[in-house]
Structure 1
Amino acid sequence: MNQVLPIVQSDFYLEPYQFVIEQRMKTVLQKEKALTSTTLSEFANGHHYYGLHKSEHSWIIREWAPNATQIYLIGPFSDWKEHADFQFKKTDRGNFELQIASYLLKHQDLYKLSVHWPGGQGERIPVWVNRVVQDETTKLFSAQLWYPENTYIWKNDKKRYQPEVPLIYEAHIGMATEKEGVGSYAEFRKLVLPRIHKAGYNTIQLMAIQEHPYYGSFGYHVSSLFAPSSRFGTPEELKELIDEAHGMGIMVIMDMIHSHAVKNDLEGIGNFDGSPYQFFHEGIRREHVAWDSLCYNYGKNEVLHLLLSNIKYWLEEFHFDGYRFDGVTSMLYYDHGLSRDFTGYDMYFDGNQDEDAICYLALANKLMKDYNPNSFSIAEEMSGYPGLAAPLEAGGLGFDYRLSMGTPDYWIKLIKEQQDEAWDVGSIFYELSNKRKEEKTISYAESHDQALVGDKTIIFRLIDKEMYWNMAKDSVSLVVDRGIALHKIIRLLTFCCAGNGYLNFMGNEFGHPEWIDFPREGNDWSYKHARRQWSLVDNSDLRFGQLNAFDRAMIQLQNEQHFMEDSFIHCLMADKGDQVLAIQRKDLIFVFNLNPSESFTFYGIPVTAGKYQVLLDSDAESYGGFHRVDDQQIYYSRAEANLSDKHRVHLYLPSRTVLVLKHTPPKSIF
């Protein structure tokens, strides 16, 4: 009898599918063996071979283009015309190579490739290019030779360790400044990084780093996998940003877009050598039915070489600490997960799964650990694929974390469909704390997705137009009071029930108003909504600073008390009628009174015997509350009856507030 896999041991509903899971594990190991006789890290060195590189006396450039018949290097050095001196030689296995004297090219020279194929020809940007720039006048993109005289010297190159609990600040470089324009790596480092450090977050997740031709795509229609977006600055400026974050003890991970690619022929790789299926699927599988993009063919070894090399490249060259893999659900299923609701386990094993993509994801995670054991990965996955964030040897795909994508959807549905008078605290606890046993999760109340035009952030759903008129501290508005109280409750509820980490999108911590809308034809190419208004939180006359102070206190609570390290979350009570919820995490008690109108005096919460001290009170004036609780008072538990070992602590619970108390056991009499 076969040994039961660990993920099956933790979920007996997987028992009928153990054979399929084992076959997937075997496929990964067989593919790794077929790809390399050494290590995955050695295999994933394509960026050291392909692309443009400097040798002692020459430049050498290589590309894989099996359908091409001729390739020319063109640029100012050839008057942007094909010239015999710059024609590539075809070598083996579809590779092309050109070697030219070092004096012919210099730092910041522009170049492209002129690629010929049977029946056609076109200008192309190299697949393995590490810098692409856009002409401000023509708006056309070109490759740019980037070989500065002085290479960047890392100042904080000491070994970094994956945080026990990632507290992630999701950020977009371009929209991180207040100006109505595109922000830069340097501006982010100088203006935003200190805010993140002060707020207490230990990880930054950077969006839109890989080059993309359309700014409004939020970076999700990638054209050049190895090129950091030049619209934000130079590669050295990105390195300096990451280096300085590391010096502050902050890890930096990147949104990795390997789920699809931009369709553009001129900027992208979809038709690089005249073949539409060089890197992508043939036929109806080539184009994504929902995203207007192209789908990689993970069954081709050359595609695996490209993508795995890309994984290693960013870790190696820019010292990123890991990745948040975008669109994992889309990768896992032939229908991209769009035609089913995943209500049964057979939907994970019924033949609709892209086994090549599953194999690739497992190899990508294995490569990360092979190259840097302290790197970590997060999967954006919403189907609930079993074993996603379990080790390969346990039957999983090797991700370190899964994003709890159902949580923001749950909050939006609750806010839209029910008045808070009807919120069921027991149901809320179940939804926020429910997770698979074998995996770690990153929880969040909202990310960039909920802030995009056409949607609304939590604060905007709660306050709406009152945001424009009544966020001054001297304004009187019941709508704003309610919105601020619920904003704090929702975020702290999500935080205290978080599985193993927490994520916030920049600005949401202080209730950033309005939505995100990148410049486009429909808004007259305006940057008004593609920025962050830090002046609002810095203005002491406004209430945004109070929400920011609460978020900082919430993050500080974890940094000082380390309660998330204890994965056990205990519901002490959930009184549906009173709308009072009490949760224990480690030695902290979180008491939520969601009741919109009732404040409770001498309310008994079942607890362990001992004394209790208030660490956080959402009703404090500094957090925009009304200071109805004496935060200095020490509370002592009382036995429910004489000689009973069951105790309660009795509290004053104002309406729409949260108290966090720390437990100290009674001193032993022995």
Structure 2
Amino acid sequence: MDIIKNDLINDILTTRCADPFGCLGLQQGPAKKGLSLTVWQPEALSIRVLAMDSDTLLSTMKPTQHPGLFYAEWPKEHSRFHYRLDITYKDNSQYIIVDPYQFPEATFTDPEHHQASLYKSQGAIQTHVQLSKSVTVTGTRFAVYAPAARSVAVVGDFNAWDGRVHPMSSNGDGIWRLFIPNVMHGARYKFEIRSHAGEILPHRSDPYAQRIEQYPSFASVTCFENKHQWQDDAWVTRPVEDIYEKPMSIYELHLGSWRRKDDNQPLTYTEIKDQLVPYVVEMGYTHVELLPITEYPFDGSWGYQPVGLYAVTSRFGSPEDFKALVDALHQANIGVIMDWVPAHFPADSHGLANFDGSKQYEYPDPKKGWHPEWNSIIYDFGKDHVVNYLISNAVYWLEEFHIDGLRVDAVASMLYLDYSREDGEWIPNKDGGNHNYEAIDFLRRLNETVYLNHPRCFTVAEESTAFPGVSKPTYMNGLGFGFKWNMGWMNDSLAYIKKDPIYRQHHQGDLSFSMVYAFDEQFVLPISHDEVVHGKGSMITKMPGDSWQKFANLRAFSAYMYFHPGKKLNFMGNEFAQGQEWSHERSLDWHLLETDFHKAQHLLSKDLNHLYQEESSLHFDHSHLGFEWISYDDSANSILAFARKAKNSDAHSIAVVNFTPTPHGRYRIGVPKAGYYKIILDTDETKYTGSGYVKTQAYKTQAVVSHGREQSIELEIPPLAGMLLIWSATPIN
């Protein structure tokens, strides 16, 4: 049978249709009388039309001159109705389906959302269509932004990955939509996009997919189960506090290599939960920071080349399993920070690159859109839909997974147009400079959105330059981050500690210089994964000297880090002096805890964390009022001495760190107040495998001027060690 020949039917047959609802499904019949039904099932032999709520036969469809295209009509006046299709295919299989092209209302009605919650309307959304009191059709509404596409189809397990079966519809706003009945949780799918030039592109994963399979399919997976019942109410409703005056000791970890099974397979989220939560509680950390857990195709990128910002990586389990991990950490009063990568994305064919045949997500010019250092693609921060996509993603993790903090990766690469580029390889901004105004605006809007809507959450910038005001509020013309990694402190202090102690006297400024700018930003002191990989060696291998000196150096450095103003971050393994350089392909060397030196470093890390939480003078680290130099210029002895002071009280402590193997029997330092000082931590104690250098544990001040102060004490200072003393107006037991 021949049916009306029109452009839409031709587009259906050639998989170029942008308006399948204009010709498929129920339409007005010829001469606008009655109804007609057109169905496109390219592998069908025959089709019968059944009532929606019974097996009543409404019509046997007639094949047309186009194989796979079927037609039926009701020539007399007939009210619209809902129906099912009983289809017999060429392989003699038979299925009854609900035709998606009878539900324009479900396809084109966007769920309510704000720009910061686009994930509630795009991607794959479970949808229910109530036809009557007794009949509800449930399925999945797919929506994808691809404004330059000629046509888009949903392909998946439910249509044998055949791009002819489910063409999507566009109403001119750039979003392609289709509601497909009976596609439920766990269905695998992608989008088949024909570019405006006519080519069918490699199947794309859903940019908003909440689950994506691993290699080789990289299929998106519908994700509607919400089995996890959150038990962290006490955490998420806790009073909003000034986090700048609270201790923050962060345990940074890569989930795939923290611990592994005997067969070298990584732990699941559930297995990690059972082992990680009690460990970080015992060790005294306040937060964990997870290397990126958004989906990524290449293990060796550690997550920093993500394809699937809305999907928890399926390497270790389901989204519900990951929620349970976060929940358990919260119930143990441990905050959860995730590394978040809005700076760039890889060029994998199933991802965002050239998504609809045009540069929808990236800058078109490679001088702005290609990242030469990481061979990746840079988001176009000047496009509203890109900014909304990223900010919605940040909100998604905070709201749906109760994440507490976002550590934003590679901020410097976003701020500067000439980052990792030579002259002539970058495009100046409108004023001829190298600042990316669009990225700056994006970062400010991101931080405003987070802090306005989630006051218990915070953001951290990995930013390695002197860009002003990274952690200043946007109303002060800052970027609005809560914290900034102190890369200057990290680089200077690591350069110093690597040197043989005999040469350190010439580099005292490497340690003291950090206090020149320590309060310009809200800093985190990071010893991160980047410092123990790519040939840099583990922390213990950076230390000079024989075995005892190596561990003594590491202990002194650890104490110095905890005594210095700023929040703390240590990568996994640092706490017990991991031996080998970190590799994402194997577990940490937990067996080292059977040896004295490593076991002692582990104990010191634990004690430092608990001391840091308990000692109020170490918390006031965002103001110069909480710090006072005593001696920063004793380069001959490589000794630093400074006071840490609590806010709004006389409570304070004295930190003394000796970076040489020479002990000092009578070393006088000036102190802020008369009274008594007692050592509460000494890294040279024998329990830490120190020398056990004999010293007095408590000191009464003397009216002897030293370091410009009227009161002083005379200390015994052990070799390669850090000590913390607390003050009291009365004798301390």
Which TM-score applies when normalising by structure 1?
A: 0.83
> Does 1:453 pair with 2:534?
yes
Aligned to 1:555: 609
Deviation per residue, 1:526-578 (Å, 9 max, x gap): x3xx32122322x2x43211001111111111111122332332121131222
Q: How does 1:515-664 map to 2 (within 5 A)?
A: 515-518=581-584, 527=585, 530-537=586-593, 539=594, 541-567=595-621, 568-574=626-632, 575-586=634-645, 587-596=652-661, 598-607=662-671, 608-630=673-695, 633-640=697-704, 646-664=710-728
**Structure 1 residue identity aligned to 2:449:** L
Partner of 2:674, secondary structure, is coil
Residue 115 of structure 1, aligned match among 187, 193, 206: 193
Aligned to 1:390: 472
Aligned to 2:321: 237
Partner of 2:345, secondary structure, is coil
**Structure 2 residue identity aligned to 1:536:** L
Partner of 1:434, secondary structure, is helix
Deviation per residue, 1:483-538 (Å, 9 max, x gap): 11110111221221133x110101111111111234xxxxxxxx3xx32122322x
Q: Do the aligned partners of residues 398 and 130 (structure 1) sit closer, same or farther apart at CA in structure 2, a change above 3 Å counting?
A: same
Deviates more, 1:179-188 or 1:421-430: 421-430
Aligned to 1:106: 184
Deviates more, 1:121-130 or 1:562-571: 562-571
Q: Distance in 2 between matches of 1:317 and 1:73?
A: 26
Q: Which runs of 4+ in 1 moved over 6 A?
A: none
Q: Distance in 2 between matches of 1:452 and 1:129?
A: 32
Aligned to 2:391: 308
Q: Distance in 2 between matches of 1:554 and 1:339?
A: 44
Deviation, structure 1 residue 455: 1.5
8 A contact 1:619–1:629 mirrored in 2: no
Deviation, structure 1 residue 630: 4.7
Partner of 2:570, secondary structure, is strand
8 A contact 1:432–1:494 mirrored in 2: no
> Does 1:191 pair with 2:270?
no
Q: Say what the alpha-carbon RMSD is for the aligned residues.
A: 2.4
Partner of 1:129, secondary structure, is coil
8 A contact 2:628–2:644 mirrored in 1: yes
Q: Distance in 2 between matches of 1:108 and 1:602?
A: 71
Q: Do the aligned partners of residues 534 and 399 (structure 1) sit closer, same or farther apart at CA in structure 2, a change above 3 Å counting?
A: same
Q: How does 1:87-236 map to 2 (within 5 A)?
A: 87-102=167-182, 105-117=183-195, 118-121=197-200, 122-134=202-214, 139-148=216-225, 151-158=227-234, 159-160=237-238, 161=240, 163=243, 164-179=246-261, 180-236=264-320
Q: How does 1:396-435 map to 2 (within 5 A)?
A: 396-416=478-498, 419-424=501-506, 426-435=508-517
Aligned to 1:496: 563
Aligned to 1:60: 141
Q: Do the aligned partners of residues 458 and 288 (structure 1) sit closer, same or farther apart at CA in structure 2, a change above 3 Å counting?
A: same
Deviation per residue, 1:135-184 (Å, 9 max, x gap): 5xxx2311112223x53110112314564232111111111113323332
Deviation per residue, 1:205-243 (Å, 9 max, x gap): 111211110010011101111001001111011101100
8 A contact 2:539–2:578 mirrored in 1: no
**Structure 2 residue identity aligned to 1:302:** H
Q: Distance in 2 between matches of 1:641 and 1:301?
A: 64
Deviation, structure 1 residue 368: 0.3
Aligned residue pairs, count: 583
**Structure 2 residue identity aligned to 1:308:** I
Deviation, structure 1 residue 456: 1.5
Higher relative helix content: 1
Q: Do the aligned partners of residues 455 and 641 (structure 1) sit closer, same or farther apart at CA in structure 2, a change above 3 Å counting?
A: closer
Which TM-score applies when normalising by structure 2?
A: 0.76
RCO comparison, higher one (Cα < 8 Å, 6+): 1
Q: Do the aligned partners of residues 288 and 425 (structure 1) sit closer, same or farther apart at CA in structure 2, a change above 3 Å counting?
A: closer
**Structure 2 residue identity aligned to 1:391:** P
Partner of 1:231, secondary structure, is coil
8 A contact 1:421–1:595 mirrored in 2: no
8 A contact 1:176–1:192 mirrored in 2: no
> Does 1:50 pair with 2:122?
yes
**Structure 1 residue identity aligned to 2:257:** M
8 A contact 2:154–2:163 mirrored in 1: yes
**Structure 1 residue identity aligned to 2:591:** S
8 A contact 2:683–2:722 mirrored in 1: yes
Partner of 1:566, secondary structure, is coil
Q: Do the aligned partners of residues 420 and 514 (structure 1) sit closer, same or farther apart at CA in structure 2, a change above 3 Å counting?
A: farther
Deviates more, 1:182-191 or 1:312-321: 182-191
Q: Distance in 2 between matches of 1:65 and 1:648?
A: 71
8 A contact 2:501–2:659 mirrored in 1: no
Q: Do the aligned partners of residues 641 and 45 (structure 1) sit closer, same or farther apart at CA in structure 2, a change above 3 Å counting?
A: closer
**Structure 2 residue identity aligned to 1:532:** L
Aligned to 1:319: 402
8 A contact 1:337–1:383 mirrored in 2: no
8 A contact 1:402–1:439 mirrored in 2: yes
**Structure 1: unaligned runs, 5 residues or longer:** 1-40, 341-346, 464-477, 519-526
**Bigger radius of gyration among the two:** 2
8 A contact 2:150–2:198 mirrored in 1: no
**Structure 1 residue identity aligned to 2:154:** L
Deviation, structure 1 residue 666: 5.1
Q: Do the aligned partners of residues 565 and 416 (structure 1) sit closer, same or farther apart at CA in structure 2, a change above 3 Å counting?
A: closer
Aligned to 2:451: 369
Deviation, structure 1 residue 350: 6.5
8 A contact 1:211–1:223 mirrored in 2: yes
Partner of 1:115, secondary structure, is strand
Partner of 1:304, secondary structure, is helix
Higher relative strand content: 2
Deviation, structure 1 residue 87: 1.4
Q: Distance in 2 between matches of 1:406 and 1:127?
A: 36
8 A contact 1:433–1:569 mirrored in 2: no
Aligned to 1:15: none
Deviation, structure 1 residue 645: 7.2
**Structure 2: unaligned runs, 5 residues or longer:** 1-112, 129-137, 424-428, 646-651
